[in-house]
Structure 1
């Protein structure tokens, strides 16, 4: 087979050039000969040394675990099309009809996604004061602690002991882009710090509160990991903290119950400051109920609110969405 022979130190530059020219042969492994690299090509290329060589075929890898999972054909349509990846741990939601095939599903995920080391199934809904769920081990390592990377930060956490959603990475970056240098931020339900640690890169100071001691333990570790020394971790009920500090920006990432803490948020934000509120809403009317509650609390406190942005964050359940409302508080 025709090949381009180049010194090893120039290999990456040449590879990109061959791709740009559209002549790099697909489906073959490159070959090394001493200090030279051989690239298979579909036609002669001017300006390069051309040689004849034999190349091995690359193994065609499946793109989805559903291509390799060993389950009866009649249940294959029930296989979930997606799952969460947190660090090197996969968490999948499996219908009851498929739970007996859980091990096969877990092993298929490990086979296709080599970077995943452990697979768990959701055993319950997120519940309780600490917002955690039961997890059922399917395959791989029997551990729940991992190191997750997103938006240029590292987050150590235990998926069985704290709440964390990788699906909010885009939303977290949206808030980061809105944050201005020198702001004071109050993250009311901080968890292990995905908002707090990220926003610390711009903010002057970030107060990060959570009632879960495991979340605060990991938050403290993530502050060290990311050198985010301007994050102040606070363990306890946010009601006891509210009003004792003033922030330019408030994060209310507790969509199921955030409306219960609106008073605390408004008492803690500066005049003209911004609140990022999260909730759940039905498809037919996503925002009205939440906005009515926001206005009512503001009136009780003698404040005014200015709505800045409303958006669907992600699907939550059939015909239900996780929503975000950004509003300014005028005192």
Structure 2
């Protein structure tokens, strides 16, 4: 087939130019001959040496596990279009009709995503004081500890022992961008530290509380991993800590029950400080119920609040959303 022949030192520049012109033939491996590189092209390119050459076809790799998984046609429409990846662990939510095909689904995920080493299915909803769920092993290694990377930090965790959602990485970065250098921050439900360790890059001090001893154990390890020595891990019930510190910014990442801790959040923020509140809400009325609870908690304490921003964070269930409300507390 037709090819452009260029010296190796110019190869990368020429490759980008051919892509820009839409002339680089897809599906073929580039060839190297001594000090030259040969690019397959779809038509003659002015200003370059053109030759005829044979190229090896590249095997097209599937983009989705659904392209390779072997399940009966009647259940194929039920295959989930997405799943969570935490480090090198994949966690997929399968409807009951697909659980008997869990092994072949897990093996298909491993085949397509080479960096994934273990695949689990959600065996229950997030529940209990520690906000964890049962996991069903489908394929790969039988281990739940992993190292996850996001937003320039590393987080070691055990997906079976602590709560962690990779889908909140964008939200965590949103808070990071709002944080001003030198702030004191109170992360009320810190988990393994995805907010705390990230915000430590800007903050003077981050108090990171969680009631799950496994979460605090991994938080301590993540402080060392990221050299985030200005993070103070606190194991215990946040109710016992509230009011004993004054923060410029409070993170309330406990969407199912955050409304129960509004009093504690407001007692722990400086006058004029900001609270980042999270909740769950139906699509038809995302914010009004949560705003009413925030106003009521402030009134009970003799404070007032100013709402700064309201947003949908992510879908949570059919017609249900994880929402965020940022508000300022005036005392």
Q: Which residue of 2 aligns with 1:237?
A: 237
Matches within 5 A, 1:1-331: 1-331=1-331
| Secondary structure of 1:73's aligned partner | coil
Cα distance in 1 for partners of 2:23, 2:141 equals 42
Q: Which runs of 5+ in 2 are unaligned?
A: none
| Secondary structure of 1:57's aligned partner | coil
Cα distance in 1 for partners of 2:268, 2:73 equals 56
Cα deviation 1:197-245 (Å, max 9, x = unaligned): 1111111111111111111111112112222221111111111111111
| Secondary structure of 2:74's aligned partner | helix
| Secondary structure of 1:276's aligned partner | strand
- 1:35: how far off? 4.2
| Secondary structure of 1:74's aligned partner | coil
Q: TM-score, structure 1 length as denominator? A: 0.96
Aligned-residue RMSD, C-alpha = 1.4
Q: Which runs of 5+ in 1 are unaligned?
A: none
Q: TM-score, structure 2 length as denominator? A: 0.96
Change (3 A) 1:37 1:223: farther
Cα distance in 1 for partners of 2:33, 2:242 equals 67
Aligned length: 331
- 1:32: how far off? 2.5
- 1:254: how far off? 0.3
Deviates more, 1:163-172 or 1:219-228: 219-228
Cα distance in 2 for partners of 1:40, 1:104 equals 38
Deviates more, 1:316-325 or 1:267-276: 316-325
